[in-house]
Amino acid sequence: MGITANVKHVTDDMAPEDACARYAAVRTLSLELAVPLSDADATAQSMPDASPAKWHLAHTSWFFETFVLRDHVQGYRAFDERWAFLFNSYYEAEGAFHPRGRRGMLTRPTLAEVLSYREHVDDAIVAAMPLIVERCPDLLELGLNHEQQHQELLLTDLKHLFFQNPIGPAAWPCTHFGKARHYGSEIAWHAGRTGPVDIGATNEDFAFDCEGPVHRHYLLPHALADRPITNAEWCSFIADNGYATPSLWLSDGWAWVRKEAITAPLYWRRSVDGWENFTLAGWHPVDPSEPVTHISLYEADAFAAWAGARLPTEQEWESAARTHNPYLGIQLDRAGAVHPLFVPGTEGLSSMFGNVWEWTGSAYRPYPGYRAPAGAVGEYNGKFMSGQFVLKGGSCATPRGHVRASYRNFFYPHQRWQFTGLRLAKDL
Amino acid sequence: MGITANVKHVTDDMAPEDACARYAAVRTLSLELAVPLSDADATAQSMPDASPAKWHLAHTSWFFETFVLRDHVQGYRAFDERWAFLFNSYYEAEGAFHPRGRRGMLTRPTLAEVLSYREHVDDAIVAAMPLIVERCPDLLELGLNHEQQHQELLLTDLKHLFFQNPIGPAAWPCTHFGKARHYGSEIAWHAGRTGPVDIGATNEDFAFDCEGPVHRHYLLPHALADRPITNAEWCSFIADNGYATPSLWLSDGWAWVRKEAITAPLYWRRSVDGWENFTLAGWHPVDPSEPVTHISLYEADAFAAWAGARLPTEQEWESAARTHNPYLGIQLDRAGAVHPLFVPGTEGLSSMFGNVWEWTGSAYRPYPGYRAPAGAVGEYNGKFMSGQFVLKGGSCATPRGHVRASYRNFFYPHQRWQFTGLRLAKDL
Amino acid sequence: MGITANVKHVTDDMAPEDACARYAAVRTLSLELAVPLSDADATAQSMPDASPAKWHLAHTSWFFETFVLRDHVQGYRAFDERWAFLFNSYYEAEGAFHPRGRRGMLTRPTLAEVLSYREHVDDAIVAAMPLIVERCPDLLELGLNHEQQHQELLLTDLKHLFFQNPIGPAAWPCTHFGKARHYGSEIAWHAGRTGPVDIGATNEDFAFDCEGPVHRHYLLPHALADRPITNAEWCSFIADNGYATPSLWLSDGWAWVRKEAITAPLYWRRSVDGWENFTLAGWHPVDPSEPVTHISLYEADAFAAWAGARLPTEQEWESAARTHNPYLGIQLDRAGAVHPLFVPGTEGLSSMFGNVWEWTGSAYRPYPGYRAPAGAVGEYNGKFMSGQFVLKGGSCATPRGHVRASYRNFFYPHQRWQFTGLRLAKDL
Amino acid sequence: MGITANVKHVTDDMAPEDACARYAAVRTLSLELAVPLSDADATAQSMPDASPAKWHLAHTSWFFETFVLRDHVQGYRAFDERWAFLFNSYYEAEGAFHPRGRRGMLTRPTLAEVLSYREHVDDAIVAAMPLIVERCPDLLELGLNHEQQHQELLLTDLKHLFFQNPIGPAAWPCTHFGKARHYGSEIAWHAGRTGPVDIGATNEDFAFDCEGPVHRHYLLPHALADRPITNAEWCSFIADNGYATPSLWLSDGWAWVRKEAITAPLYWRRSVDGWENFTLAGWHPVDPSEPVTHISLYEADAFAAWAGARLPTEQEWESAARTHNPYLGIQLDRAGAVHPLFVPGTEGLSSMFGNVWEWTGSAYRPYPGYRAPAGAVGEYNGKFMSGQFVLKGGSCATPRGHVRASYRNFFYPHQRWQFTGLRLAKDL
């Protein structure tokens, strides 16, 4: 489909200088995200689910160092042999690793040393690019997409960290608060396709292993809402006692609501003037026109029940998104205080890409015919296929060019520190 | 399909005396299961997931008392108003209830008092049967199927309780240990249907809400193993370091294995003479010919990975089972030490019903078009549709006549105190 | 001192028939306490700190079986070799034992079997009494005092168990509710001795090892309150926000109050008519004239701070109690719903023995010169000498004849399921 | 006693310039300790018991700002009103405070901002010194002693943090490793005083409230070891299965050993060449001649039991220490990798001050007649008087001039990240 044409992924017929340009573009954005961070900001870990910014910067480099340079570039010398233990995330096949929940203890190496590590790796990649493009372009491209994922995590982890601080630091100013355009109060419903459709990524362009293989799926009559749910609508749910009505909730969700005393999306607090939410630009009033974000699958599901609707399946969503351009929408272009925003919708479904990740009702399980790749990179996706749900469409923190219709993001149903939101669906 | 004809479910055109006969048959089995139990055996709770036998006996009666007698039989007087708080399991719509994990604290009412409660309810049901058949036959039938589910739970919970006791009590003797017929070492593969199939229960006969609605599903080329995995095969997995090889495991499963120090199925222990397993007839040597049981989804999935196969989807399983008679196989007919056993297989798939519940790779989620019923009974299934996996086919502890091809049992992926096993599948 | 003359402890110059009489008197009371208990009541365990009644009945018999019969009576045959594992409490020197928190899982042996075990042990003890009196009278006497401690625990553990039941069962009726005589509102202060005093038990009569050796201690000028604190006074503390005023509390106590959401003594609840408390005779209104009970050391300490006083030291208490008769007061004589009660005070200090255990401000540590006895019985007291506080004087649940001035009971500062109360002290 | 003459505490007859000199001397040492720390090193928190270095630097300044400047210096303007919430440790009377376990989340304010805060406070203190010396010299002196306590904590917390890092960073080089003089293998015993002694601090010089009032205590015949236990002796305890012999341990200690899998002092690990320990100068071989350190009270008590001895009481220790000069010994003089070291002993007791804090067998409870001061500073010591044990004598990380014979340090029996060791005692 022509709509994906403006990102050129690295392949074996790409000119090395073009590969270098793509590599540099991705790697540079990571550095830009780190600019406002102190050494301490880049080191602290707010919860086991989150990682320090410094760790993201190092881990993404370790990925290139290990799977590209060590495995495919003869003579490469590791920056520091001890760092593999520190910056391997979860690849059991690569040996022991530092426990995830203790990443915040790594005050050394310093941020400056990690930046030197990045330079070391970058220099080696660039020098070996002709050879890399020839031998393992897919691993380089995987590393770049991997880095983009960590760019989004760096932002959401940083937001979570700053939220812990009673002083409420801002990483960047935000220019677009208050610019959301108000939608009409009514959702418009758009019928999707019915009958057998092909779902999943083909091999024509880069995609993660879990997006394929492409396979036949049977869609039943259904419709999708034209847009995500807004903060205004979420406030109605709160006002109608949504968080205190057990009949709306999944059983696990209700246990979670009670145990954690949940009464609003993450990052919301009441002030004398109404709800405020914490952003990467600090505390700001909740804008009723924006799409609601930082909600769990449990909350999304309860809202849908309250609204007399349901969540879309991942196949319904993907089928509808096929005709949308994944490079448009509110996505991450450069460092700054990312935040969802409604922009004027087109006719039909709006905001399918960017803004907020949309929870689907689909458990994250392998597609028919899926096999994890051999070797350590086989641990990338497959082993996470239990207990999690699929999210679609990318968010305001997703680097532009990273997401596509077949993209399957996944989180546990209680997690909500990502830019998560929802779009309703219903049976027809 | 004619194969389901030998159980007559209660419907509004059934003669009251026939309804009384079915009611009595189901209710009597519960009493038989309680015969070998002391008051203490019937009261203790071994873990929050399990319930005391006494509680099962009372809760199933409360179900009839509440949803049939209280709601539909004018003038019925509750046996004891305070007991609703004690014996409501999880129906939020029915008000507050005793915390699940504290059911073992209810040393009063005694087992004798609970048995009186059952008589009280039984007398009222039988007396009102003509009216019940007319007004709410579906609720009576739901209550009977509900009681059958608790009969199976009573057995598995009792097994778990007795296992806690170093003395290893036996509830019943077992007559069939050692009678398993050895299968050939090779699994035979049987191709399933490909293309669109109808999945789920129709409204023609009793089924739980979650089994419907019937809907179109697209099956891809695949095959199922002719039989479940045996203890002999499981021992090979253990011997090949299956429990210590992270690449075989789902990430959540690997975390579980390490945290819980899992090295064998539940109820297994090593003796000087080899593996023993705990049964409702006490400790016995593991019979290599029997189907393996008391394994988690995590273990089933790891075994499948080790075997170069995968778990079947629930749709593949259901499609294959449609032509099998669900009333045959190793199922529960009367009180006794239930245990899986291989019997001579027919050509084709054997042991689809009974013996062990078979884990599928399908997350327990609503079928397309599913809506939970209105009222408290709407909490029966729908609210559990997150985080669990579907199991199919019933077990040696499932009352005969209870299960069918569309039946969807569900448990969390770490749970294994049910009679759970696995059958392999593969893509073609 | 003559005041201890009415209990004759077993010694090597006692006639065997007198030893049998004392043995029978103690052992019989345990049986009487079990009369109202069902098999289930006797089996359930409400928390790791508490034990099932059946376990108390068996463990005390195991103590005699092991340390008297096995070690000193040739030819004795154990009732069941497997039971040592079940009914050893914590004697590491005696080998492995069933985990304390899982005692409620032992539905077998049944209560009836445990009673047979008691008979077996009793028969053997009585038959061997001449030999026992000669060889190990101290171990027999230790076993009897040990059994008396478990009689008190059986009652407090049973109370805790029945409290878990929303139905609030009563074990016995209570005859003395409402008979407490009202005290004047003012506490009268009585100066204690100043200067060096001898503290601890001499070897003249039975005492636990931790009560000695007798040693010199220097008392500073102080006074004790004439009586324990009452429920009326405790209600004033509550009304004055005592539970919400951090400055009154020890730091650990304040953390405990907030974490556990403590707002009243254990077993208290508010009804529309005011405070009620749970007793072994079920729920009853709190009587303002009774001594307050079921409070932790943290609460006792906070109350004392609120009252501008402090807790007595164990030496101040013991010094004052030396002239009191430990066989008088509200103590346990026969099975029934024990509960504290104020009786008319004498001049001077009243209620020093019986009614409620009085928290002291003394940590439970070894007396100067203390050495634990050799062998397994050396684990009786010494190893518990960290983290606990000393209580003095016995309670309404202490078998009469068991306690004395030098007696040191001990519990952790947060524990309050015993009949614990407090008497104030102050510096002069 | 003249031996304390070389520290002049701030009193109302001190010249302001002398007070400024003392103030500067203490405050400057804190800054020196922070020199090798990166912003991240100063921000991370390794466990709830420990605090970030930055937090220590800020909290000690908050103490002066609040209790001296705010309360006694008219016109003082707080550096930042929001910081009181961040840097109040536990003074409930001062209002809400940031949760102790989340101090590592405070990446802002930065280390540089905290250093500015210190300057702001220092300038205000110095400017107001004449007035402070006149009005509240005791609070200034308290603040200085408070800062010295935090200097020791800063070092021990930093050590704990660096220990978490697999890279094992060194904060400073260490000059005295390997310089310990070997002691003879035999302990020499020195009899202490017997009979009534006066214990506790008089009011003549600065002391913490918990060190008084001075009071009479009766000592029984006893002896103290001439020196602390060495690493060589500790290795014998390990080799003799000390960590696996339950009879040596307090019950709580044995539970701790098993739950935490303790087999050696904190910071020890086995290498192919034998034991190594982590220091503020990184990993180094364990020197057999050094006093053992980083042991819990449980370990100290078990060692004493193994050695056939016991821990001294705090009164025995204090009585013996009265004639020793508290300004001598291995203590903290300037920033560097502090570590215990044996220096040539004098006749009699050696190493009473400095080197390692010596666990006593005394629970940390109030002295007779103790009353906490009024106001927030009354929370300094009194509220911690439950569950902890007293340690005496200071360590290599205690600023010289801070400790004295009456000084009572206190920690929970399982804690061992301080420089804790033991000296044996025995009854005579």
Reported ipTM? 0.95
For residue D384, the chain C residue with the least C-alpha distance is: C251
For residue A46, the chain D residue with the least C-alpha distance is: D105
Report CB contact under 8 Å: A111, D46.
no
pLDDT at B204: 84
CB pairs under 8 A between A and B: 87
Contacting partners of chain A (3+ CB pairs under 8 A)? B, D
pLDDT at A95: 85
pLDDT at A213: 96
On chain B, the residues whose CB falls within 8 A of the CB of A381 are none
Q: What is the full per-residue pLDDT of chain A (428 aa) written as tens digits?
A: 445 546 889 999 999 999 999 999 999 999 999 999 999 999 999 999 999 999 999 999 999 999 999 999 999 999 999 999 999 988 888 888 899 999 999 999 999 999 999 999 999 999 999 999 999 999 999 999 999 999 999 999 999 999 999 999 999 987 666 666 656 678 999 999 999 999 999 888 999 999 999 999 999 999 999 999 999 999 999 999 999 999 999 999 999 999 999 999 999 999 999 999 999 999 999 999 999 999 999 999 999 999 999 999 999 999 999 999 999 999 999 999 999 987 656 678 999 999 999 999 999 999 999 998 888 888 888 899 999 999 999 999 999 999 999 999 999 999 999 999 999 999 99
Q: How confident is the model at residue C186 (pLDDT cuts 50, 70, 90)?
A: confident
Q: Is the pLDDT of residue B391 over 70?
A: yes
Give the whole-angstrom CA distance, residue A408 versus residue A199.
12
Q: Compute the average pLDDT of residues D198-215.
A: 94
On chain A, the residues whose CB falls within 8 A of the CB of B363 are 363, 365
Higher pLDDT, C96 or B246: B246
Give the whole-angstrom CA distance, residue D8 versus residue D11.
9
Phi, psi (deg, nearest 5) at residue B224: -115, 150
On chain A, the residues whose CB falls within 8 A of the CB of D162 are 107
Instruction: Identify the helix (H) or strand (E) that includes residue A284.
Output: strand A282-285
B286: left (phi over 0), alpha (psi -120 to 50) or beta: beta
Sheet containing strand A282-285, edge to edge, reads A268-271, A274-279, A282-285
For residue C81, the chain B residue with the least C-alpha distance is: B167
Q: Is the pLDDT of residue D204 over 90?
A: no
Is there an interface between A and C (3+ Cβ pairs < 8 A)? no
C-beta separation of C86 from C113 below 8 A: no
Angle between helix axes B53-64 and B137-163 (nearest 10 degrees) is: 170
Q: Are strands C268-271 and C222-225 parallel, antiparallel or unpaired?
A: unpaired
Q: Is the pLDDT of residue B375 over 80?
A: yes
Instruction: Identify the residue among A105, A108, A159 best suited for mutation to test binding to D, counting D beta carbons within 10 A and taking the highest.
Output: A105
Q: Which residues pair with C271 in a beta bridge?
A: C274
Instruction: Show which residues on chain D lie within 8 Å of chain C, measured between beta carbons.
Output: 90, 92-93, 196, 215-218, 220, 222, 246-247, 249-254, 297-298, 301, 310, 313, 361-363, 365-366, 368-369, 378-379, 383-387, 389, 413, 427
Q: Percentage of chain C with pLDDT > 90?
A: 86
Average pLDDT, rounded, for chain B: 94
* Maximum mean pLDDT: which of A243-252, C198-207, C333-342, C369-378: A243-252
Q: Is the pLDDT of residue D2 over 50?
A: no
C-beta separation of A396 from A354 below 8 A: yes
Q: Is the pLDDT of residue C345 over 70?
A: no
Report CB contact under 8 Å: B427, A93.
no
pLDDT at B1: 40
pLDDT at B2: 41
For residue C40, the chain B residue with the least C-alpha distance is: B40
Q: What's the gap in Å between the CA of B44 and the closest CA on chain C?
A: 7
On chain A, the residues whose CB falls within 8 A of the CB of B246 are 92-93
Q: Compute the average pLDDT of residues D336-340.
A: 92
Report CB contact under 8 Å: D111, A40.
yes
C-beta separation of D82 from A166 below 8 A: yes
C-alpha separations of C277 from C235, C267, C268 in Å: 13, 5, 4
Q: Is the pLDDT of residue C290 over 60?
A: yes
C-alpha separations of A275 from A231, A270, D342 in Å: 10, 4, 62
Give the whole-angstrom CA distance, residue C275 versus residue C264.
10
Instruction: Show which residues on chain D lie within 8 Å of chain A, measured between beta carbons.
Output: 38-44, 46, 54, 82, 85-86, 98, 102, 104-111, 161-162, 164-167, 169
On chain A, the residues whose CB falls within 8 A of the CB of B216 are 218, 220
Instruction: Identify the residue among D105, D106, D157, D280 best suited for mutation to test binding to A, counting A beta carbons within 10 A and taking the highest.
Output: D105
The three-state secondary structure class of A287 is: coil
pLDDT at D342: 75
Instruction: Identify the residue among D91, D217, D218, D219 best suited for mutation to test binding to C, counting C beta carbons within 10 A and taking the highest.
Output: D218
For residue C382, the chain D residue with the least C-alpha distance is: D250
Report CB contact under 8 Å: A107, D46.
no
Q: Percentage of chain B with pLDDT > 70?
A: 95
On chain B, the residues whose CB falls within 8 A of the CB of C104 are 44, 104
With CA atoms as reference, report the closest residue to B411 among B426, B397, B391: B391
Q: Is the pLDDT of residue B276 over 90?
A: yes
Where is average pLDDT lowest: B256-265, C216-225, C351-360, D374-383?
D374-383
The burial of A77, by beta-carbon neighbours within 10 Å (0-12 exposed, 13-18 middle, 19 or more buried), is given as exposed
Q: Is the pLDDT of residue C292 over 90?
A: yes
C-alpha separations of B266 from B228, B413, B416, B420 in Å: 17, 14, 7, 10
pLDDT at A93: 85
Report CB contact under 8 Å: C38, B108.
yes
pLDDT at A377: 82
Q: How confident is the model at residue D424 (pLDDT cuts 50, 70, 90)?
A: very high
Q: What's the gap in Å between the CA of A320 and the closest CA on chain B?
A: 17
Give tens-digit pLDDT for B190-225: 999 999 999 999 888 999 999 999 999 999 999 999
Give the whole-angstrom CA distance, residue C184 versus residue A421.
66
pLDDT at C310: 98
Nearest CB to A38; choose among D85, D110, D162: D110
Nearest CB to C166; choose among B40, B86, B107: B86
Q: Is the pLDDT of residue D184 over 70?
A: no
Give tens-digit pLDDT for B290-319: 999 999 999 999 999 999 999 999 999 999
Nearest CB to D386; choose among C220, C368, C413: C413
Give tens-digit pLDDT for C107-159: 999 999 999 999 999 999 999 999 999 999 999 999 999 999 999 999 999 99
pTM: 0.96
Q: How confident is the model at residue C386 (pLDDT cuts 50, 70, 90)?
A: very high
With CA atoms as reference, report the closest residue to A58 among A68, A43, A72: A43
Query: Strand locations in C226-369, DSSP E?
Result: 268-271, 274-279, 282-285, 357-363
Query: Strand locations in C347-402, DSSP E?
Result: 357-363, 389-392
With CA atoms as reference, report the closest residue to D225 among D168, D165, D290, D304: D304
Q: Percentage of chain C with pLDDT > 70?
A: 95
Q: Is the pLDDT of residue D157 over 50?
A: yes
Q: Is the pLDDT of residue D282 over 50?
A: yes
